[in-house]
Structure 1
Amino acid sequence: MEPGGRRERRWRQLQGPRQEAAEYYRDHRVPQRMEEALNALFPLRPADLYGELANYFSKFSKAPVICKLVGRKVIDGVGQPTLEVEIYCTVKNYEKRICSTVMSFHSQIPENALPETNEADEKERNDSVNTAVEWVSDSLNTMLRDLKPTDQCKVDEMLGEYFTKQAEFKKEIEKQEEEAAEVTLALTSCTPSATALPGGKNAAKPGRKVSAAERMIPPAEPVESVLCGSLAIGATSLAIAKAGATISRIPLYLHIALLKHGQDLPKEMTLPLPMVTLLNCEKIPPAKLKLMKEVMLIPPVQLSLKQGIERVLDIQKEMTRLLESPGKVQSSPRLADSKKGKAHNTGKKAPPRALKRISHLGCLITGCDNLEQPLLLMQTACNNLGLELGTDMYLAINCAAHELMDYVKGKYEILTGMFKSPDEMVDMYVELINKFPFIIALIDPLRKEDRQQWNNICCALGSKCYLIAEDAATCISKLKSDQKINIPTCSGVVLKYINQTKVSDLIELTGLLDGQRHITILGSPDGESSDDSLVDLAVGLGARFIKLGGLSRGERVTKYNRLLAIEEELAKNRTLREANLEFIAFDEESQPEKQLSDVLPPPTQDSLPPQLSQLPENSTLT
């Protein structure tokens, strides 16, 4: 028989035992038992098991590296151009978009600047943003390629070197332009037609007397020049930090905390207390008060952040009601007992309801006539809600004194036509805090040049409230030079993440401030965006306060919502520690002895808002 026939006969002989074996295994459910055994050993579905194996072996794959940076011109919360940076990384041989960040542009132009000054600032902003987009998409894109996004220190070092080269290049160009201008001036000065005539516009007038005040007060320090395009440095550094957190699969605030504490995560973390702006005191006529730029609320530490924000919202609603038209307020039950209120309720039509005005800071705008008026208004709103200032809520005042100095008179114009010297300002603040002890923070009560007065006010009030430097602190690059803090005597500093600031700069500077018993406040720039990274920076750096503006406008509310989310996460992980409000006592060697008794004259009925001047006699304002 052929070999093929033998194989076929043998195959037929084995069919019977094979069929029997198949029936046996089927009857005894061996496959089911094996599946049950596998499920006991590996309690996952096959797809899940493959996923776990993939995750395990991914640990041995190459770490993600930066493959592309993209710069883009976008619009911020006040309709001005600013910069967005996107980070792409190579993850398992695939290009993947990791994150993006929007850098807020910080303008140094005051609110009452001239129109031509604002136009020049807008042109400078556009040029800076366009240059920053070029830097990110071209030079920085090439320079940072193939670096790990988790290596923040190395990235920041390279960004710093690039910025230094660009700054030196700009100085060389300016020097060449100055030399060329001098040569041109020397050539033109030889011609008689170009000779300046005596008595011209810029000629010094003979016999002009310089007032004593001009000689006594220190001149204003020159404004720190901002390198065109420097926005790219800060935005890229922050974007790299966000990418590092994403790659490490941890929140940004934990990533920042690890960077600050040398990869040793603290067991507990404290949330910064919010300084919520409630009032923005406008400085245009007919308002007379120029001193208080912002009136802010600080919830007590006993409340959770969520409870504090809810309480601030209640006060904001009551404040809105008080700032409405007099007719609307007088018809309310709380104020209907006044004689003038009754007169308005006798059939007379109330005036049209005033429009609510919201500042770009996300707060209410109002004009005031004296120092006490906004404080009494705030006190009234709290009393109507059954709250007590100093116990249930605290106040902070942003004085913005640098915007008030009249350099001809050498004094601050705190009210229209009312001027005070730097020493008189100290006395005024002392009396203000003694009369309203619920004010626990003053921001920029003086110019940074008035260093002796900063020392005096800290000695007098340091144990009662925080004296904080915002504009009075120079830029971050100078603050951390030579391991010294270049600021006047103060309780703390408002830091703003702007321009060429890098994440490593903030970490280093907050470490220096912590070591010198200064508190850190992370502040939001005027032109904000919906990027909420500032909140993670404040939490990770351990800031005492965070200054985000008001509880209106989406770009600011987004940050408060992020703060609430972090509180919930820390509370769930049981790593949330309660904040504290310990003040810093300074030496009393330079404490001023005299105080002016007429600094805070008692408010008259005419100086109060209509709704407050018509309160019943048995109402209490204090």
Structure 2
Amino acid sequence: MGEEGGGRSCGTTRELQKLKQQALEYYRENDVPRRLEELLNSTFYLQPADVYGHLANCFSKLAKPPTICKVVGKNVLDGVGLPTLQVEIFCTIQNFPKNICSVVVATHFEVQENASPELVEAEEADRLQAVSTAVQWVNEAITQELQGVAPSDQAAVDQVLRAFFESKVQEDKERRELDRSLEDSAVPTPVPLIPPAPPPPLPPGKKKGQKQGAKDSFIEKPVLPPEPAEPVLCGSMAIGAVSLAVAKTCAMLSDRPLYLTVAALKHPQLPPPKAEPKKGHNGSKRGHQPVTGKMSHLGCLTITYDTIEQPLILIQGICANLGLEMGTNLHLAINCAAHELMDYSKGKYEVMTGAHKSAAEMVDLYVDLATRFPSVIAFIDPFRKEDSEQWDSLSNALGSRCYIIAASASKSISRLLEDGAISTPKSSGLILKHTNQTTMSDLVEVTNLLDSKKHISILGSPDAESSDDSLVDLAVGLGVRFIKLGGLSRGERVTKYNRVFAIEDELVQNRALGFNEELTFSDLNEEDGKAAEAAGPLSPAEAGEESAEV
């Protein structure tokens, strides 16, 4: 027992000596004695509490940088009271866990105002499952994968999230193949005993599909059915939410706004300056105007009209009463949402109740509106994405004086990055939405891709969203040309406009806000794109000006 106790004592002594030696080397490498001497000299006339405070600040600079210790997912409600995902980031700071920030993201589901009860019930079940799966991913696998990762290393975080998502995609694929094989083995394929008789030959001179006695005439091309929606993996919203939360965490730990952190990701060679403390927006007060009509789920006023141009004439009259000049103080973008106007029973777009137009007639309609109302600078989703010929025709007719924008007609960000085909259908810009598995790195990559192709980027808000205003910071930091928000109604919309004003004030104080009000359109018929090239890419400061302007 004595020898055993003596051996243990010798071992403990050697360990203590080793720790002392490591401490001496650490102090020597970090020049701690000199720092303490300078600190004591500078605090000679201070109170003991002040000295302790300075000592704490001195040693805090030697502490290990913050790392992620826990990620928490929660099921919360969005702006219209539907389930969505909240993500909180906890970091280890000076050996203690601390809750740094949280974000709330929107689901990819669209809000249906006039949907059938069966469809609403099925979508609610899908939405709840998507949110529940995302919460499970965050609280189990993702929080384990990100433990110990520095929130300042966004590339490493996004790489971990991408690898995790790819593994989930593979699991889903294997599960579907297994289910399919089980179904095939359970249901035997019937074998016909008698082969079917071949169809009778057509009579001479009669073409297939032609009715007896019908005269040769021009037959319009059949309307293509809508393409199936891109599959969305249940729970994928966890990827985009965690990526955004980590970026916001980095911004808060660095004591700078989120838009500067995002701008640093897109322009690593030009680190943006640290913003000064912001002041409140000193905008002019406006009296509350009575609102008539129905408010849509997007916070917009919907009115009835007798002609297509009547809403535009109404806006012109309102601007005239307010002293605003159309085309100078205010520009218009028409969100056509053509995929919602198609009447497949007639094969035409129902532009008004009872008024139907073919895809070719829609081209003439848009050209006429753009000619009569020069303040209209953009058409968003003027056709379904299946009507590629009409996209080409409209781009050829108006591409040099209007933006032809694809929103619902565009592919998802992951598909855009996968194949790089941003001009299918032919357009001059895309509306991007931060949903599903889109990470901060993906947003940087897709906006760089659009910039290289001389296409404009627009960041848009989903149908159902929360009061989280991170979308505005993303738009400014990424340097997009415009930001697409809903109407000035309800808190989740108004808070984003207030964030635009706040960022504008910060940029003005830092003298980083430019004033470039000229709109430059690309002639989509010219392959060299000289008009767009002359404009050049936007700097972070100009990007902030454009987002604040819109």
TM-score in terms of structure 1 length: 0.69
Distance in 2 between the 1:112 and 1:491 partners? Answer: 32
Match of 2:523 among 574, 580, 586: 586
Amino acid at match of 1:103: V
Q: Is the 8 A contact 1:460 1:588 kept in 2?
A: no
Aligned to 2:200: none
Contact 2:111 2:463 in 1 (8 A): no
In the other structure, the counterpart of 2:397 is 460
User: Could you say which residue in structure 2 is the equivalent of 1:474?
Assistant: 411
Q: Within 2, Cα distance between the matches of 1:40 and 1:70? A: 43
CA contact (8 A) 2:88 2:245 kept: yes
3-state SS of paired residue (2:519): coil
Secondary structure of the residue that 1:67 maps to in structure 2? strand
In structure 2, C-alpha distance between the alignment counterparts of 1:507 and 1:104, rounded to whole Å: 20
Query: Which of 480, 487, 504 does residue 441 from structure 2 map onto?
Result: 504
Distance 1:140-1:208 versus aligned 2 partners, 3 A rule: farther
> Is the CA contact 1:466–1:583 (under 8 Å) kept in the aligned structure 2?
no
Larger Rg: 1
Pairs within 5 Å for 1:88-107: 88-107=90-109
Residue from 221, 232, 237 that aligns with 1:226:
232
Change (3 A) 1:528 1:154: same
Are residue 545 (structure 1) and residue 547 (structure 2) matched?
Answer: no
Match of 2:8? none
CA distance in 1, matches of 2:274, 2:152: 23
- The structure 2 residue matched to 1:118, chosen from 110, 117, 120, is 120
Task: Map 1:30-179 onto structure 2 (within 5 A).
Answer: 47-48=49-50, 50-108=52-110, 111-179=113-181
Deviation, 1:90, is 0.4
The 1:585/1:52 distance shift into structure 2, 3 A limit, reads same
Aligned length: 465
- Distance verdict in 2 for CA 1:367–1:250, change over 3 Å: same
Confirm whether residue 243 of structure 1 aligns to residue 180 of structure 2.
no
> Is the 8 Å Cα contact of residues 479 and 485 (structure 1) preserved in structure 2?
yes
Helix, strand or coil for the counterpart of 1:576?
coil
Indicate the larger mover: 112-121 or 496-505: 112-121
In 1, the alpha carbon distance for the partners of 2:92 and 2:525 equals 59
Q: What secondary structure does 2:122 align onto?
A: helix
Answer yes or no: is 1:377 the counterpart of 2:314: yes
Task: Quote the offset at 1:520 in angstroms.
Answer: 1.1
Give, as a single letter, the amino acid of the residue that structure 1 aligns with 2:148. D
**Match for residue 264 of structure 2?**
258
C-alpha distance in 1 between matches for 2:524 and 2:68: 51
Alignment of 1:346-365 (within 5 A): 357-365=294-302
Tell me, in whole angstroms, the C-alpha distance in 2 between the residues paired with 1:83 and 1:208: 56
**C-alpha displacement of 1:58:** 2.2
- Residue 521 of structure 1 is matched in structure 2 by 458
Tell me the amino acid that sits aligned with residue 442 of structure 2: D
Supply the distance in 2 between the matched residues of 1:264 and 1:43 (Cα, whole angstroms). 42
Alignment of 1:357-506 (within 5 A): 357-485=294-422, 487-506=424-443
3-state secondary structure, aligned to 2:107? coil
Deviations for 1:44-102, whole angstroms, at most 9, x for unmatched residues? 76645544443343232111111011110000000100000110010000010011110
**Could you tell me which residue of structure 1 aligns to residue 20 of structure 2?**
none
C-alpha distance after superposition, 1:474-515 (max 9, x if no partner) = 110001124442532212111111111111100100111111
Q: Which has the higher contact order (CA 8 A, sep 6+)?
A: 1
Q: Aligned with 1:138: secondary structure?
A: helix
Query: In 1, are the aligned partners of 2:138 and 2:238 still within 8 Å (CA)?
Result: yes
CA contact (8 A) 2:379 2:403 kept: yes
Tell me, yes or no, if the aligned pair for 2:281 and 2:505 is still in contact at 8 Å. Answer: no
- Measure the CA separation in 1 of the matches of 2:255 and 2:45: 25
Shift of the 376–53 alpha-carbon distance from structure 1 to 2, 3 Å rule, reads same
- In 1, the alpha carbon distance for the partners of 2:498 and 2:50 equals 35
Q: Deviations over 1:422-467 (max 9, x none)?
A: 2211111000110111111211111122222222212211222221
> Which residue identity lines up with residue 403 of structure 1 in the other structure?
E
Contact kept in structure 2, 1:78 and 1:528, CA below 8 Å: yes
Match of 1:563 among 477, 500, 503: 500
Sort the Cα spacing of 1:191 and 1:580 in 2 relative to 1 into closer, same or farther, 3 A: same
- Partner in structure 2 of residue 181 of structure 1: 183
Secondary structure of the corresponding residue to residue 529 of structure 1? coil
Indicate if the aligned counterparts of 1:267 and 1:575 stay in contact, CA closer than 8 A. no
Report 1:281-360 matches (<5 A).
320=290, 323=292, 357-360=294-297
Partner of 2:30: none
What's the secondary structure of 1:449's corresponding residue? coil
1:220 shift after superposition = 2.3
- Deviation string, structure 1 residues 343-380 (Cα, Å, up to 9, x no partner): xxxxxxxxxxxxx5432222223222321121122122
Report the CA distance between 1:256 and its aligned residue.
0.4
Asked if structure 2 preserves the Cα contact closer than 8 Å seen for 1:268 and 1:575, the reply is no
Alpha-carbon distance in 1 for matches of 2:274, 2:307:
44
Determine the C-alpha separation between the residues in 2 that align with 1:222 and 1:586: 31
Q: Contact 1:530–1:556 (CA<8 Å) still a contact in 2?
A: yes
- Once residues 331 and 47 of structure 2 are traced to their aligned partners in structure 1, the CA distance between those partners, rounded to angstroms, is 57
1:425 and 1:42 map into 2 onto residues whose CA distance is: 81
TM-score (norm 2): 0.78
Partner SS state of residue 187, structure 2? helix
- Per-residue deviation, 1:418: 2.1
User: Which stretch of the first structure deviates more once superposed, 238-247 or 365-374?
Assistant: 365-374
Deviates more, 1:109-118 or 1:138-147: 109-118
Shift of 1:41: 8.0
Q: Which runs of 5+ in 1 are unaligned?
A: 1-37, 193-205, 270-304, 324-355, 591-622
In the TM superposition, residue 388 of structure 1 has moved relative to its aligned partner by: 2.8
Distance 1:533 1:589, change over 3 A: closer
Deviation at 1:120, TM superposition (A): 1.3
